[in-house]
Amino acid sequence: MAPNRPALGSLLTALLVSLLLPALALSQGAPAVTNQGGPGSAPQANAIEQQELRRAIDSAANDRAALLRNLEVFLKKYPESPQRPQIYRAIVEASLQLRDFPRALDYSERLVALKPDDISNTILTIQLIERYGDAPGWRRGISYCGRVLDYVAQTSVSDKSPRVSAEDWENGRKRDRSSILLTRGHFFQKLNDFSSAQKDDEASYALFPGSIAAERLGELAELRKDLNAAIQEYALAFALSDGTGGGSTRIELRKKIGNVWRLAHGSEDGLGQYLLRAFDDASNTVASAKAPRNQGGKEPYDFILRKVPGGSPVPLADTRGKILVLNFWATWCGPCRAMEPHFDKIAQQYAGHNDVLFYALNCDDDESLVMPYLEEEKPKASVLFADGLDKFLQVYSFPTTVILDRTGKIAFRSEGFDYESVEKLLTEAIERTIQTAAATSPASAAAKP
C-alpha cells in the first residue's frame, strides 16, 4: 500500500488474463447459449460482448497502443460492461507504459468512482494527481487521501498476517500514514491552504522524519517570512537528503538555505558550521530508524538474516562449515521471477544434502511488497531478507546467484541467467564446490601419503 511502489506496468499481463478468462470459457467447454431465450436474450448478448472483448485484446497482440484503442472502442459500444473495472485498470496500465499520463489519470479516477474501496488504485490515482493534476484534481486528491488515511486508521494489528511481525506491521502502517499525509499536505499547499499543509507536513515528519517533509515545512516558513524557522527546516532537509527519496537535491537545498541565511544574516558567514550541527542532530534523530542491519559485518558469518515470513532470525554463523547457495532477487525484477523455478528445482535436487543450504534472499527496499509476491509465486526454497548481505557482497544487479564454500568464501558467482543452461551451470558449480571441500577437508589431508 505504500505510495512509493515500483512501476505498475508489470501487472498488465495478469490484468489481461483476468479480462480473457470469461471469453476463454466460451471456447473451452462452456455450454452454448445461442438458442437460449431467442436472439435478443441476455445470455446471448453477454456471449457476443465477451467475444468482442476477446477480439479487441487478441487483435492488439503485444501492441499496447492498439490495445488501448481497442478497449476504448469496446467501451463506447458497451459503456455498462460488467468488465469495466478490469478494462479500466488495463487501460491505466497501458497508458502508463505509453506515458499517456492524462489518460491514465482519467481512467484511474473512473475506477475510483466505480470501486471506491480499491485502495491500491486510489493511491495510484493520488500519485497521478500530484504529478499531473490541476486545482479541481488537487481537491479530489485531498478527498482520496482522506479515504486512505481512514482505511489505515481502521486497520488493527489483530488483522495482520501471522507471517508478518507486529513491529514490521506497525512500521509499515506509520510509513503509509506519513506518505499520505505528506501528499495531502502538498495538495493543501498547492491550493494555498498553508495552515492545513503545515499540520499535515508536521504530522508526516513526526511519524517518519524525512527530507521532503522538512523541505515543505521550510517552504511554508519562508512564505510566512519566518526566516529562522525556514533555515532550521531547510538545514534538516539538507541533512536528511540521500538522493533516493525524491524531493530536491542537496545542491538545490543548498541554494535554498543559502538564500534565507543571507536574508537573515547579510552573508553566509557561519552557515557551514550551522549545517554541520544540523547534520549531527538529524543523524541522531533518525539513527535508530534508519540504521542498516548488520552494519559493520566483516564476513558472511557475521550476518543475522530474517526469515520470510515471520522475521525470525537466521544467524549465518550457524551455517559455518556448510555450502550456501544464495539467490538474490527483488519483487520488481522480471528475470528474478523467471529464475525462481530453476532455483527451486535445483534446491529440491539437493534436499537430502544437509550440508548444502539454499536461500532466496530478497533485496526489496519496501518489505511490504514481499509477502503478496510470495503468496502469488509460492517459491519452495527458503526465503530470507538479504539484510545488507547484498551490499556486503556488492550485489547490484538481479538476479545474482552466489555460492559460498564451507569457509564462507565465494566459490561461484553469476549475474543474470540463461534459462537454457542455468540448471546445468549451477549444478556443476555446486558439485565442484562439494568436491573441492572434500579434497581439502582434514580427513582427506590425513589420508594423503
User: Which residues have a catalytic role annotated?
Assistant: 333, 336
Site of grid cell 481537491: 139
Report the amino acid identity of residue 374.
L
Q: Are 227 and 266 in contact (CB under 8 A)?
A: no
Report the amino acid identity of residue 149.
L
Q: Write out the three cell numbers for 389.
A: 548481505
C-alpha distances in angstroms, 71 versus 46, 88, 111, 289? 17, 9, 15, 46
Burial label for 203, CB within 10 Å (0-12, 13-18, 19+), is: middle
Find, among 432, 397, 395, 385, the residue nearest to 412 by Cα.
432
Alpha helices per DSSP H over 332-421: 334-349, 370-377, 389-392
Report the amino acid identity of residue 127.
Q
Q: Around 304, how many Cα atoms within 13 Å sit in the side-chain half-sphere?
A: 8
Site of grid cell 479515504: 147
Report the amino acid identity of residue 346.
I
Burial label for 274, CB within 10 Å (0-12, 13-18, 19+), is: middle
Q: How many whole angstroms separate alpha carbon 313 and alpha carbon 41?
A: 61
Determine the 3-state secondary structure of 32 from DSSP: coil
For the chain, report the end-to-end CA distance as a whole number of angstroms. 65
Site of grid cell 538479504: 386
Ramachandran sector of residue 388 (left: φ over 0; alpha: ψ -120 to 50; beta: rest): left
Q: For 396, which DSSP code?
A: -
Helix or strand (DSSP H, E) at 104: helix 101-114
Order across the sheet with 323-329: list the strands: 313-315, 304-307, 382-385, 356-362, 323-329, 400-404, 410-415
Q: How many whole angstroms separate alpha carbon 24 and alpha carbon 19?
A: 9
Paired residues of 359 in beta bridges = 326, 382
Find, among 176, 408, 163, the residue nearest to 306 by Cα.
163
